[in-house]
Structure 1
Amino acid sequence: MAPLTSPRRRSLALGALACVLLPRAVHARDAGSSPVQRSTAVLMGTQVDIVAVQADAALRARALDAAWAEMLRLSEMMSRYRSASQVSLLAQAAGGAPLPVAPELMAVLQQAQDLARRSGGRFDATVGAYADWHFEPGQPARLPDAATLARQHVLVGAHGLQLDVPRGTARLARPGMRLDLGGIAKLPILQAGLRTLAQHGVHDALINGGGDVLCSGSLQGRPWRIGLRDPRAPQRLLGVLALRGGVVAASGDYERGFDHAGRRYHHILDPRNGQPSEGLRGLALVSADVEAVNGWGAAMMVAGADRSRRWLREQLPGVEAMLAGPDGVWLTAGLQARLMASA
């Protein structure tokens, strides 16, 4: 196996808390001679990697094309950066009449509302109203002042996102409200890609989207090996997981952000005040099902370690977790038992 910490592999997983251990032989140019093909593109503002295992090269190529097309369709639908997306159209119509939304978007909005309730507001999809932060690479860092955040705060609240599921419509109640689905849309989009691969005959596959990893089946009879990075020192691995299906969902404060006056400012905002979350540096959630963990990473980053551990005990049975803070790394007993040394 190629070491995850090799310069080439590290460059492919820059900023990711979880990434994939792949054989040295897996390169796009090997697609014609190997049953294993790796395909890469930038999607949702991050690098997405697909590893597909299928001996029939033509079938594999069709499956990859279909998976990319489906993920692109959904990401364009749910992006707040595309003016014609359904998410942007909801913001443009905020305060007005409800708009029809696609079933895939409605499902994500329902998950967002459910998580807002279950997390006591630590997750809130209307956090997009805090629109003056800049965390994207290449943009100048910007610190919104307290008055700006206070004005925007009145536009944040899950009660302002109104869903009519039978009619298939959604509405933002007040002008100026905006959605940011970055914490809850990516996993369903990656899941749609994995499902599309299976529908086209590729049942052994892995998708890594910026540290969120979904896999099914195996890598030529062997479990998929997924490395967990230490959020406090991303060049270092905490260990490796062997999976034959499931999801590893990662969140952290160093994927997009900057340091200023001794504080880390990053893209996971606390809906209650518009400030970047503090306390946890990063986390990883491991589950058999996307639905069990979707959105909880952002909520836990906001809530901190103590409340996150309580949620894991009381609300998230079967979910294993790694929580990393300034004082160290905490692992659930199940994850500690499954995590292997990276050597």
Structure 2
Amino acid sequence: MQKPRIIDAGRRRSLRGMGGLSLLATGMFVRPALADPAVHRVSQPLMGTRVDIVVQCASASMARAGMIAALAEMARLEQRMSRYRPDSEVGELQRCAGRRAARVSPELFALLRTAADLSARSQGAFDVTIGAYAGWRFEAPGVHVPDAVELARERPLVDYRQVMLDETRGEVLLRRPGMRLDLGGIAKLPILDAGMQTLRRHGLHDAMVNGGGDVMASGQLQGRDWRVGVRDPRAPERLLGVLSVSNGVVASSGDYERCFFRHGQRYHHVLNPRTGMPTDGPHGVTLVAPSIEAVNGLGAAIMVAGEAAGRQLLAPLRGVDALIAGAGQPWMSEGMSRRLRMA
């Protein structure tokens, strides 16, 4: 695991010159409290992004121990759920596809159960078997667009109904040879939440965990709620507004993080399970909720399903505030309209 980067008190003092906001990273703000020796921060690459932890604690040693433990727990779960590691549980499931079931950890089994429920609710707009569209490459210099023949060959392998979950044995079977899982749309929030729970077990209750714009917030920072900036997916260099959050989660999905242009066409990483091509619906979705259960994976599902279907998915949920940003004026739930302070 890569050594975490910890900002100490001397480094925090050097941040004072940055003005009203002492940190701006992946849509998250921390006010000048970083100049406070009771505020501690650690950063580390995880899950293909950068994970930041900020805690307020009078004891530097207590803060350091809790943050390092949280990063270790998140790294442990990432290793189990990564589709890029041959020694991961996901890798084992893919090797066994079409042949036999494999026993998985309770964490992965619970995640796949959540995925199955969301897939059924969204009528397949969310589908973790989208990993079968393996030809896409979104990182320069090796960007690649699979051709129609390749996508047609892979399309029969994308079907969430072919993922068999055996609750009694804790086993999972991918029924068709060649099936592959991509948990990118649903694994990050539970991993970040595991980091937050680790912080709390270490007595750190005023804390924030941010991973690529998905934010877990607990308690407050210097007596005020945590501030989370919401990026405008149509112009990611600017903000739509700022949210104040305590003891909750902000989940963001967008088509601006991993994308490239080819022959005048823009391609992004949020794929439609039915076609294997990037979605052409909303550019971004932001959800705020007290916990991850109601919103995990939902942003990706809405980006595939579109605004109208997304609003139907949101309708029965209580305590969830939502913003859906398309080509025109963003749609906001009543709760989000009250919560979001426009930039």
**What TM-score, normalized by structure 1, do the two folds share?**
0.91
Paired residue for 1:69?
72
What is the correspondence of 1:28-39 to structure 2 with a 5 Å cutoff?
34-39=37-42
Cα distance change, pair 259–158 in 1 and its aligned pair in 2 (3 A): same
- Deviation track 1:49-96 (CA, whole Å, cap 9, x = no partner) reads 000111111111111111011000000100001110000110011111
The answer to whether 1:129 aligns with 2:140 is no
Counterpart Cα distance in 2 of 1:64 and 1:9: 18
The answer to whether 1:21 aligns with 2:29 is yes
Q: 1:249 aligns with which of 248, 251, 256?
A: 251
CA contact (8 A) 2:29 2:229 kept: yes
Aligned-partner residue type, residue 160 of structure 1: Q
> What's the offset of the Cα at 1:204?
0.8
> What's the offset of the Cα at 1:261?
3.9
Q: 1:178 aligns with which of 177, 180, 184?
A: 180
Counterpart Cα distance in 1 of 2:43 and 2:52: 5
Cα distance change, pair 194–281 in 1 and its aligned pair in 2 (3 A): same
Paired residue for 1:55?
58
CA contact (8 A) 2:33 2:221 kept: no
Counterpart Cα distance in 2 of 1:324 and 1:304: 10
1:163 match: secondary structure: strand
Aligned-partner residue type, residue 102 of structure 2: L
> What's the offset of the Cα at 1:341?
3.9
Cα distance change, pair 262–251 in 1 and its aligned pair in 2 (3 A): same
Counterpart Cα distance in 1 of 2:319 and 2:263: 40
Paired residue for 1:327?
328
Paired residue for 1:300?
302
- Deviation track 1:112-143 (CA, whole Å, cap 9, x = no partner) reads 1011100000000100000000013x342211
Unaligned stretches of 5+ residues in structure 2:
1-14
Counterpart Cα distance in 2 of 1:135 and 1:5: 35
Unaligned stretches of 5+ residues in structure 1:
14-18
Cα distance change, pair 218–46 in 1 and its aligned pair in 2 (3 A): same
What is the correspondence of 1:72-111 to structure 2 with a 5 Å cutoff?
72-111=75-114
Cα distance change, pair 6–91 in 1 and its aligned pair in 2 (3 A): farther
Paired residue for 1:191?
193
> What's the offset of the Cα at 1:227?
1.0
CA contact (8 A) 2:241 2:342 kept: yes
Counterpart Cα distance in 2 of 1:89 and 1:5: 49
> What's the offset of the Cα at 1:310?
1.7
CA contact (8 A) 1:48 1:207 kept: yes
The one of the two structures with greater contact order (alpha-carbon pairs below 8 A, sep at least 6) is: 1
Paired residue for 1:277?
279
CA contact (8 A) 1:253 1:264 kept: no
1:222 match: secondary structure: coil
CA contact (8 A) 1:285 1:320 kept: yes
Aligned-partner residue type, residue 270 of structure 1: N
Cα distance change, pair 2–133 in 1 and its aligned pair in 2 (3 A): farther
Cα distance change, pair 85–218 in 1 and its aligned pair in 2 (3 A): same
CA contact (8 A) 2:285 2:324 kept: yes
Q: CA RMSD in A?
A: 2.0
Counterpart Cα distance in 2 of 1:294 and 1:5: 35
> What's the offset of the Cα at 1:317?
2.5
Cα distance change, pair 3–155 in 1 and its aligned pair in 2 (3 A): farther
CA contact (8 A) 1:2 1:23 kept: no
Counterpart Cα distance in 2 of 1:120 and 1:62: 44
> What's the offset of the Cα at 1:208?
0.7
Paired residue for 1:16?
none
> What's the offset of the Cα at 1:3?
11
Q: 2:49 aligns with which of 41, 46, 49?
A: 46
2:224 match: secondary structure: coil
> What's the offset of the Cα at 1:25?
4.8
Cα distance change, pair 139–80 in 1 and its aligned pair in 2 (3 A): farther
2:257 match: secondary structure: coil
Cα distance change, pair 333–168 in 1 and its aligned pair in 2 (3 A): same
Counterpart Cα distance in 1 of 2:18 and 2:89: 38
CA contact (8 A) 2:23 2:31 kept: no
Counterpart Cα distance in 1 of 2:261 and 2:331: 25
